[in-house]
Chain A
Amino acid sequence: MNTTTKGVVRGITANLLEIRPSGPVRQNEICYVSSDGASLMGEVIKIIGETAYVQIFDTTRGLSEGAEVTFTGERIEVTLGPGMLGKRYDGLQNDLEKFEGVFLQRGQQSAPLDDDSKWGFRPLAKAGDAVRAGDWLGELSENGLPHRVMVPFRWEGSFTVRDIVPEGTYGIHDTIARLEDEQGVVREVTMVQKWPAKQTLTVYREKHRPHKLMETGVRIFDTMYPMLEGGTGFIPGPFGCGKTVMQQALAKQADADVVIVAACGERANEVVEIFTEFPELKDSRTGRPLIDRTIIIANTSSMPVAAREASVYTAMSLAEFYRNMGLRVLLLADSTSRWAQALREMANRLEDLPGPDAFPMDLSATIAQFYSRAGTVTLHNGQQGAVTFIGTVSPAGGNFKEPVTESTRKAARCFYALNQRRADSKRYPAVDPLESYSKYLDYPEFAESLAQSVGSDWITNAKTLQNLLIRGKEAADQINILGDDGVSLENHIDFWRSELIDFVLLQQDAFDEIDQLAPLERQRRMSRLVLEICQMPIPFENYTEVRPYFSKVINTLRQMNYSRWESDEFNNYHQELSRILAEKATEMAV
């Protein structure tokens, strides 16, 4: 490792510097450039001959030719340890809370962990145990979650535990164990370790196919296009169609132990919303404030572009860290297009040969590599952990035929396409039910797991609903071409069945206190009701009767959605529904 290489700035174009180093430099190595008393952090992104090209994570105003550079020998690293839950970081894991003043300052840095914090530690390993990277040495309780202190991920080979501290309270930098390697060298372990953010963490036994539903309380996910623990998905959509609202609903409601939200090049007010609301909202499963299980990486759109690129890797590394403790982590990134744009800005400055839409040629591979870091794994000790990853994509002009959407489609298993027309007519969430998919519906291991939990009809119901929606769409097309009189009565009924599914199951008001969260039991009941009505033979006399009938049915079911589960109100609407259905049935019998 070299820590002595220095350098001199030779060229400046925006935040790209050309640096002449005095000794060896590594690709992706971090360096610091001194400018007016501040020390600006940068990353080597290309080395050509005598010149290292460095992107600076800050503005370069005031920098001049000849400025001094110090190379660190390290790549971008995250610091991992207890106390990250509830924190608000920037893309380089600076703790934003520790910065003073209203405005961010140049060259500012702050410690990711609270260096003098103390935790109640309980050993899990004992002297003499054979261990290797990632193995659990002990645990502590972080906001009610079991936080495992592990053998540092970067340590290669196998070790023997020489000694470990007894149960007690320790500082994060205290030595809690000493390990001896095969050569007899003794190394000390604290609660803190570092990891290069862009490197995939693989200190587990194996990765397998996801099989378990990740409950979200969002009907279009759970009932129609389920997401699994350790699964991947993405939400592309034109601006204003509901990507962020959807992700925030998932951040609030999804059944996960840890939620990491990476606000990557999006609006500051959106993270402020999380900062403001999450401490107030309760996690319905644990009863604790939501912020206790959440980490926010806020590299908003006006923050330095290069740090935006780093922010998604920072977030992923934290997610992998908690996965290795046997926890289920949900990682959300909004928006991965901004990350891709950061790559594009830098590639352009480097004058690299541009690919489609001026994005770098290797965009597809970069995206695929990132998504591949998600997954369910079995750790060396047999425990399981998962990182579920859902990103948003913001396609230029709202057109899905563009490089980021197309590359992500190849990498992610679930596709939640937001549709402008649905958003325009306020049919929220504006997920297009026909274009979207969850490939997990075809996983036999998922079907098996569902059969043991919510029932084996879950997947068949999802598929039936999809078919009814397709029939409804075809009927709507027919009606549009031939007019109301020009099509059969059956077409009208098909169309209204799909409207019923749309209004009662697909649409869900993210801002209604009750409607926003539908537990699985409630989803099952409502989708069965809807399916029953769809399968009921209702021989109308004339197409003009179809709309009033379905309007009434839809309205009553929507009132049920707005009522507290199994409250009197809810039950009354249910009875009213039965009355409407029965009335129609007798009317027909007469």
Chain B
Amino acid sequence: MEINPFAKRYHHLRDITRATCTLDAPGAHNEELAIVGGRLAQVVRVKGQSVTLQIFSGTEGLSNDAEVLFLGRYPDMPIGDQLLGRFLNAYAEPLDGLPPVEGQRISLGGPSANPVRRAQPFEPILTGLPGIDLNNTLVGGQKIPFFADPDQPYNEVMATVALRARADKIILGGMGLSYDDYLYYRDTFRQAGVLDRIVAFVNTTQDQPVERLLIPELALAAAEHFAITNNEKVLVLLTDMTLYADALSIVANRMDQIPSKDSMPGSLYSDLARIYEKSLQLPAGGGSITILAVTTLNQGDITHAIPDNTGYITEGQLFLRKDTDTGKIIIDPFRSLSRLKQLVIGKKTREDHPQIMNTAIRLYADAAEARSKKENGFDLTDYDVRAIRFARDYTEQILSIDVNLEMDAILDRLWRILAAHFTREEVSVKEQLIRKYWPD
């Protein structure tokens, strides 16, 4: 790292906690970077002459006479097309054994886009997964997380979606990624021959948790470069945002902030929103930033503060669940939602899409009720039996993540499944659609 010879130096740390140190340093700027005993740090509080620094890699072994150097600049990174194909760490330094990335440095954590300069998202992103394309259609400029228990194959599903999404650029932000998963992403991208379209910023489980806080900012600054300067369609993958939020709570805790729900900082909502709101669609001719994230759950608990706040910020969520009846991993149609889907379904996709999608989910809900009836030992009506049979077909042929189909083929398949188990009245969609699409 380049160091200004006139940078201010200090040699006396008054307090050291697990993540911060405090010293007298008149004139330090809020959020300015510093080097404390060789470690990167940032000003997080100023009180008169006294300045508190957050040390990203932690304070273990730090001596109270360590040298402190204020850098007079703010978190930044080199930007440009030379990022492509690179795997970098939380300081944008090479992980791939190649030389450091050169280029003009831009500061991170820039302001958000003026809402009046945005355009309404309009372009469907098709993935081949009917559980997504049919029920939760993705749209360019959207932000949406996978909610999944840690044992589910969310990284695999996300990589599949990313590769099928036809984005111009893919930016991976890995936070607390296991080393195996890091290699998985690297090899998958390499095998797909897309390395020239990828930039990866990775913090693995071997790295300091607090360093993770830098990852989304790096990934999004790179995304803004490609989307805004180059007018490209950029897909950002952030995994795992739960580990990011955990790092936020570590810092908040060490700064003695009053925790709110689930020991998370009271500012969790705003902190997450700052990241997710970077997704955007620019007006015609401009680029877009779409964010796909992973939020791991603790035993499916979506009321925990992390998934809960996320759900309030993102434009829907994709809920991965194992279906006990068929043993398949499915995109759960109940808890999953894409809020931007109505901008494209029935407009960019076939006219029957909106109604038939909702109807199938309603009937799937009937099946769930019938199943609980059965579990409670009651006799099933003919309708219940048909609903359960329908649910099985629907799960195996539509919801399961191992299906790969074109959009129209999904709709045709769904009509066939519905007609196999229900009458037209039971399906109850607009008659004009029934006349056109009901298979005889």
* Residues of A in contact with B (beta carbons under 8 Å apart): 10-13, 18, 59-66, 88, 96-97, 99, 101-106, 238-240, 265, 267-269, 271-273, 275-276, 298, 300-303, 305, 338, 341, 344-345, 348, 351, 354, 357-358, 394, 396-399, 424-427, 480, 483-486, 511, 544, 547-548, 551-552, 554-555, 558-559, 562
User: How far, in whole Å, are A61 and B316 apart by their CA atoms in the complex?
Assistant: 32
User: How far, in whole Å, are A195 and B219 apart by their CA atoms in the complex?
Assistant: 43
Are the C-beta atoms of A358 and B260 separated by less than 8 Å? yes
Are the C-beta atoms of B114 and A269 separated by less than 8 Å? no
Given contacts A65-B27, A300-B277, 16 further A-B pairs with CB under 8 A are A13-B44, A61-B109, A62-B32, A102-B228, A104-B112, A240-B337, A240-B339, A269-B120, A302-B277, A345-B270, A397-B304, A398-B303, A484-B381, A544-B381, A544-B382, A559-B431
User: How far, in whole Å, are A554 and B141 apart by their CA atoms in the complex?
Assistant: 39
Are the C-beta atoms of B425 and A552 separated by less than 8 Å? yes
CB of B436 closer than 8 Å to a CB of A: no
Are the C-beta atoms of B316 and A480 separated by less than 8 Å? no
By Cβ-Cβ distance, the 3 closest A-B pairs, closest first, are A483-B378, A397-B303, A301-B273
Are the C-beta atoms of A103 and B112 separated by less than 8 Å? yes
Cβ contact of A99, chosen from B48, B114, B373, cutoff 8 A: B114
Are the C-beta atoms of B266 and A344 separated by less than 8 Å? yes
Are the C-beta atoms of A547 and B113 separated by less than 8 Å? no
Cβ contact of A65, chosen from B26, B274, B430, cutoff 8 A: B26
Cβ contact of A396, chosen from B112, B278, B308, B316, cutoff 8 A: B308
Distance in Å: Cβ of A301 to nearest Cβ of chain B = 4
In terms of DSSP, what is the predominant structure of the interface of chain A?
mixed
Are the C-beta atoms of B282 and A102 separated by less than 8 Å? yes
From 187 to 220 in chain B, residues with beta carbon under 8 angstroms from any chain A beta carbon are none
Are the C-beta atoms of B303 and A425 separated by less than 8 Å? no
Distance in Å: Cβ of A455 to nearest Cβ of chain B = 30
Max chain A C-beta neighbours (<10 A), residue from B49, B257, B373: B257
Are the C-beta atoms of A276 and B120 separated by less than 8 Å? yes
Cβ contact of A338, chosen from B44, B269, B381, cutoff 8 A: B269
From 386 to 431 in chain B, residues with beta carbon under 8 angstroms from any chain A beta carbon are 423-426, 428, 430-431
Cβ contact of B270, chosen from A96, A240, A301, A357, cutoff 8 A: A301
User: How far, in whole Å, are A511 and B313 apart by their CA atoms in the complex?
Assistant: 22
Cβ contact of B259, chosen from A64, A358, A485, cutoff 8 A: A358
Are the C-beta atoms of A341 and B27 separated by less than 8 Å? no
Are the C-beta atoms of A511 and B354 separated by less than 8 Å? yes
Instruction: Note all chain A residues with C-beta closer than 8 A to B26.
Output: 65
How many residues on B have C-beta within 8 angstroms of the other chain's C-beta atoms?
A: 81
Known contacts: A344-B266, A547-B381. The answer to whether A240 contacts B428 by CB under 8 A is no
Are the C-beta atoms of B46 and A12 separated by less than 8 Å? yes
Are the C-beta atoms of B110 and A103 separated by less than 8 Å? yes
Are the C-beta atoms of A348 and B112 separated by less than 8 Å? no
Residue of B nearest to A543 (CB): B381
Instruction: Note all chain B residues with C-beta closer than 8 A to A11.
Output: 45-48
Max chain A C-beta neighbours (<10 A), residue from B273, B334, B337: B273
Instruction: Note all chain B residues with C-beta closer than 8 A to A64.
Output: 27-30, 46
Are the C-beta atoms of A239 and B113 separated by less than 8 Å? no
CB of B179 closer than 8 Å to a CB of A: no
User: How far, in whole Å, are A425 and B387 apart by their CA atoms in the complex?
Assistant: 14
User: How far, in whole Å, are A551 and B387 apart by their CA atoms in the complex?
Assistant: 15
User: How far, in whole Å, are A10 and B259 apart by their CA atoms in the complex?
Assistant: 26
Distance in Å: Cβ of A56 to nearest Cβ of chain B = 10
Are the C-beta atoms of A240 and B27 separated by less than 8 Å? no
> Can you pick out 24 interface pairs between chain A and chain B where the beta carbons lie within 8 Å of each other?
A13-B44, A65-B28, A88-B115, A99-B116, A104-B112, A240-B337, A267-B277, A268-B280, A269-B121, A269-B340, A276-B120, A348-B258, A354-B258, A358-B260, A396-B261, A397-B304, A425-B361, A425-B365, A426-B361, A426-B365, A483-B373, A544-B381, A555-B424, A559-B431
Cβ contact of B257, chosen from A10, A348, A544, A562, cutoff 8 A: A348
CB of B285 closer than 8 Å to a CB of A: no
Instruction: Note all chain A residues with C-beta closer than 8 A to B315.
Output: 267, 269
Cβ contact of A18, chosen from B47, B340, B382, B424, cutoff 8 A: B47
Are the C-beta atoms of A301 and B47 separated by less than 8 Å? no
Distance in Å: Cβ of B129 to nearest Cβ of chain A = 20
Mark contacts of B26-58 with chain A using CB atoms, 8 A cut-off: 1 yes-contact digit, 0 otherwise.
111111100000000000111111000000000
Cβ contact of B274, chosen from A66, A102, A302, A424, cutoff 8 A: A302
CB of B335 closer than 8 Å to a CB of A: yes
Distance in Å: Cβ of B344 to nearest Cβ of chain A = 12
Max chain A C-beta neighbours (<10 A), residue from B26, B46, B141, B361: B46
Are the C-beta atoms of A424 and B365 separated by less than 8 Å? yes
Mark contacts of B84-115 with chain A using CB atoms, 8 A cut-off: 1 yes-contact digit, 0 otherwise.
00000000000000000000000001111111
Distance in Å: Cβ of A546 to nearest Cβ of chain B = 10
User: How far, in whole Å, are A12 and B428 apart by their CA atoms in the complex?
Assistant: 61
Are the C-beta atoms of A358 and B228 separated by less than 8 Å? no
CB of B267 closer than 8 Å to a CB of A: yes
Known contacts: A11-B46, A397-B308, A483-B379. The answer to whether A303 contacts B313 by CB under 8 A is no
Instruction: Note all chain B residues with C-beta closer than 8 A to A276.
Output: 119-120
Are the C-beta atoms of B114 and A103 separated by less than 8 Å? yes
Instruction: Note all chain A residues with C-beta closer than 8 A to B141.
Output: 269
